[in-house]
Chain A
Amino acid sequence: MTVNYMDAIRQRYERLGYTAYRWFVTDETPAWQKLSVPLDKARLGMLSTSGAYAVGQVAYHYKDDTSIRAIASDTASADLRFSHITENYLVDPRKDPNCILPIDTLRKLVSDGTIGSLADKVYSCMGGVYSQRRIRDETAPAILEQFRDQQIDCALLVAM
């Protein structure tokens, strides 16, 4: 049985008297870009929407924080931290960051030849932002610029 989060959260907020969270809903077919190289030759970029930061960086705040963090991809997972408006989902990631920011996993997939290489930096942002406009205008272009700078061939996005 698959959980229907949108219905459950909508009903919960309604019962508590809060305005409904507005998820992005579309009927429009997304753009499509073919891989230019096979996965085992590709340089992979990664974004986790978990609100991860590395020790030495600033944590996210909980009022529509649309900023991003660039995290060196050789960072030890023990040096990863999390701040996300829905902290209840962070219990396990705070013990083992690889649940939601697969940094050790991706390094292993490079060494076993599944992917060609991992970009020098991986990225995080914080999900649960209320303003779709600000995601479109701020977060998405910032990630695009960073991924271009990292010259990646494709990107894995891991949702909180």
Chain B
Amino acid sequence: MCLVARHLEANGIPTLCLGSARDIMTAGRPPRAAFVDYPLGHSAGKPFDRDDQLAVVKAALQGFNTLTQPGQMLTLPNRWDNDDWIADAGSNQGDDTRQPRDESPQFQLAADREAALATGAL
């Protein structure tokens, strides 16, 4: 994401990156960033919590007004409901959580394959 943001900005498009991995965004130095301390997969808010989603995205977008130096990062005040996820997320134990590297499309549902065949996309 940081590489894409930097490329867009270098070509005239102002960008803002919203993410939940502070270290990865710090390393990649996108032009503007907003960090929300949520488990990965929830950068745009808690599931089914419309108020939280609105608050997170709205606060992040304010970075377009408040960030004035390239490479700055905003930290959002939002908190996850508990801290139980932190130990697991930061653990160096456990198995490889990546899926096998395979070149066939990995449809979420079998019906999605049928839908893609029907539109001619597949």
Contact = CB atoms under 8 A, between A and B. Distances in A.
Contacts of B70: 29-32
A58 B57 contact: no
Contacts of B11: 144
Nearest to B48: A96
Given A6-B24, A39-B61, A82 B92 contact: no
Contacts of B93: 12, 15
Residue of A7, A91, A157, A159 with highest tally of chain B CB at under 10 A: A159
Interface string B102-122: 111111110011011011011
A122 to B, nearest CB: 12
Interface in A1-38: 1-13, 15-16, 18, 23-35, 38
B108 A81 contact: yes
B41 A62 contact: no
Contacts of B46: 99
B90 A157 contact: no
Contact of B4 (A90, A91, A157): A157
Q: How large is the interface on A (under 10, 10 to 19, 20 to 34, 35 or more residues)?
A: 35 or more
Interface string B70-97: 1100000000000100100111111111
A85 interface: yes
B48 to A, nearest CB: 5
A1 to B, nearest CB: 6
Contacts of A154: 13-16, 64
Contact of A3 (B8, B16, B86): B86
A64 B98 CA distance: 12
Contacts of A75: none
Interface of A: 1-13, 15-16, 18, 23-35, 38-39, 42, 44-45, 47-50, 53, 55-64, 81-83, 85-96, 98-102, 104-106, 108-109, 114-115, 125, 127-128, 132, 135-136, 139-141, 143-144, 147-148, 152-160
Given A31-B9, A63-B103, A93-B47, 7 more contacts: A2-B37, A53-B112, A61-B105, A81-B112, A140-B8, A147-B13, A157-B5
7 closest A-B pairs by CB:
A159-B19, A11-B92, A89-B41, A140-B7, A31-B10, A102-B44, A32-B70
29 contacts: A3-B23, A5-B23, A15-B92, A18-B96, A23-B27, A24-B28, A30-B9, A30-B31, A32-B31, A33-B12, A35-B14, A39-B65, A47-B1, A56-B116, A61-B102, A63-B101, A63-B102, A83-B106, A87-B99, A95-B48, A98-B44, A102-B44, A105-B50, A132-B3, A136-B7, A141-B7, A156-B16, A157-B30, A158-B18
